[in-house]
Amino acid sequence: MILLNCIGTALMLLAEGTMLHRLITRSEEERAIGVLLGYPLGVFINALVFFSLHLLHIPFNSYLSVFGAHGILIATFFTLLWRAELSLLKNFPVKSLFSFSLPKSPLERVFFFVALLFLIVILLTSFVTAATLPMFYWDSFSHWALRSKVTLDAGSFVTEGVIQPQYPILFHSIQMLFSLSQFRDQVVNTATFLLSLTSLCSLFLFVRDRRDSFCALILLMLLTGIPLIAIHLRQGMGDIHILLYVLLSAMLLEQALTSRERSAFLLSAIFVSASAWAKYEGLYFGVLPWLAIVSIDALRNRSPWENIRFGILPALLLTIPWPLLTLLRGLNLSAHGGSLAFHPEAIPLIFEQLFTLGSFGIIWWVITLLLPLLLWFERRRLVQFFLEHPVLFWGCISFILLLGVYIFTNDVRGLIHRDNFSRAMLLPALLFTYAIGMEGYKRFYSPHPNLSRSVS
């Protein structure tokens, strides 16, 4: 019964998100990836549903209110699809979901199968941990999962009895949706693992369609293979979901800026907003850099209206509600405060955490070696290079912002007490890895990447 309930709820979110994706893209080519993006989209819609119920003072601890709201949304999406004569299942390209090509050279095959093995180990151990073990980490006990229990009990987003009531609600909303009958750690962890899994699979399909299966697999292995990411994939906290939403937004933003596709723009805006509903870091290091990149692009292309209509406006409209409610309730947007002061003691600690400890493995060494090399080769057209690679640009902005936060504000405590610095730095690490991986793969096979750019 629990399993059926869990599967049914997951399928509902998947269907909701897939319908929304289909309505936005209306493209036949995007249908396969649309199914995988459906779950992350559905999870975001669910957060908005819980938020709306809270605003309307409708208690969300009953099946009727929550599933009623979802039912209305599904019916609306279905009607819109029907009126637009868009089918969800008819002629669905099942083959494109499972089409993989093996590399031809023996060395590449070795890398391919080793990466596949590593990926299976990471995902399998994460799934087994999420699906069979109870909550395990301190922050899950003290904040993440406890807030879900307290909120579900109260039927609204209360400020009493929870540690950080200003924190956004995407993570808690999905936990509550799967726990309306009973809160079970394994069920909620599986539900959030599914969010990570579908986001990663979407990323795989996206890269596969733009490069090939080999590149997609290696890149996925590099991203999930960062030790702290592999740990966070076991669920229990919200950080992994900011990272994956930002990554989905980044890959779609790159597509939007190169192809000028409105749907990619809109989806990128939706995903970056979703990251801000997972945790406030998504707002500061996701939404703000995203707005900066889209604004620069608007000024550069002299077509600001398109960027505003399909990017900036939806991103702001979808992001603002929760921070606004938080401010109206008299709470701070940051749980840590934010007084300004120079903290030189942070600098050696930053080097220690990025380069010597085990949280990142050797990924920051690789970034430090490859990024300057890449930038040196592009030194004559550096600005152009950054504008053509928004993910890299985003990585740089978020990295600089994070350094600023930890060196110039009292958030330095998170660095000194080893609380949150490494977790925060996962965002630029993933963006850099993705950008360098994509660009590196292109240059690995093409001596003239600038000529082949239009092809890719």
Partner 1 sequence: MKKSLLLIVLSILLLGGEQLHAEEGSLLLPAEHAYSNEEALASFVRLLKPTPEHDIYFDPIKADQLNEGSHLRIFYQSKNPVPVEFGPLGMVAGDILSAVLPPAEQGDVLLPLAPSPSWRAGAKGIFLKVYGKIGEESRIQKLRVENHLSIFQRFVSYIHQPFSPERFTYSTMSELAGYRMGGASLAVLIGILIGFIIVLLIAIPFFRQQRKFPSQHIILRNAFLTCLCFLFLYEARFLIDLTAYTVRLEREWFTEGRLGHAGDIYQIADAVLERVAEKRDTPVLLCNPEIATPLRYLIYPTPLLSPEELVNTTSALAITNRVWDPSTKSFQCTDFRFDGTVIRLFRDGAVLAGPPSDL
Of residues 268, 275, 359, 409, which one binds partner 1 by CB under 8 A?
359
Interacting positions 109-128 with partner 1 (CB under 8 A): 111, 114-115, 118, 121-122, 125, 128
| Distance, CA of 108 to CA of 1 (rounded, Å) | 45
**CB atoms closer than 10 angstroms to residue 7:** 10
Closest distance between partner 1 and the C-beta of residue 124, in Å?
9
Q: Which of 164, 258, 368, 410 binds partner 1 (CB under 8 A)?
A: 368
- Closer CB to partner 1, residue 29 or residue 153? 153
Pick 10 or 222: Cβ nearer partner 1: 222
Residues 6+ apart with CB under 8 A from 257: 297, 390
Which lies closer to partner 1 via its Cβ, residue 261 or residue 439? 439
The dihedral formed by the CA atoms of 414, 415, 418 and 422, expressed in degrees to the nearest 10: 100
Does 353 bind partner 1 (CB under 8 A)? Our answer is yes
Residue with tokens 């289909």: 22
User: Please, what is the minimum distance in Å from the beta carbon of residue 362 to partner 1?
Assistant: 5
Structure tokens at 340: 């300004």
Give yes or no for residue 356 binding partner 1 (CB under 8 A): yes
Structural contact between residues 418 and 357, judged by C-beta atoms closer than 8 angstroms? no
- The correct pick among 82, 138, 347, 452 for binding partner 1 (CB under 8 A) is 138
Q: Is 217 in the site for partner 1 (CB under 8 A)?
A: no
Candidates 189, 196, 273, 422; binder of partner 1 (CB under 8 A) is 422
Work out whether the CA dihedral 24, 27, 33, 38 comes out positive or negative: positive
User: How many residues of this chain bind partner 1 (CB under 8 A)?
Assistant: 65
Q: Three-state SS for 135?
A: coil
3-state class (DSSP) for residue 47: helix
Token representation of residue 420: 């949150």
User: By the 8 A CB rule, do 20 and 48 touch?
Assistant: no
Name which position in 153, 292, 329, 338 contacts partner 1 (CB under 8 A). Answer: 153
Give the C-alpha separation, 401 to 406, whole Å: 9
Binding site residues, partner 1, CB under 8 A: 111, 114-115, 118, 121-122, 125, 128-129, 132-142, 145-146, 149-150, 153, 218, 221-222, 225, 227-228, 230-232, 236-237, 239, 353, 355-363, 365-366, 368-370, 373-374, 377, 418-420, 422-423, 440, 443-444, 446-447
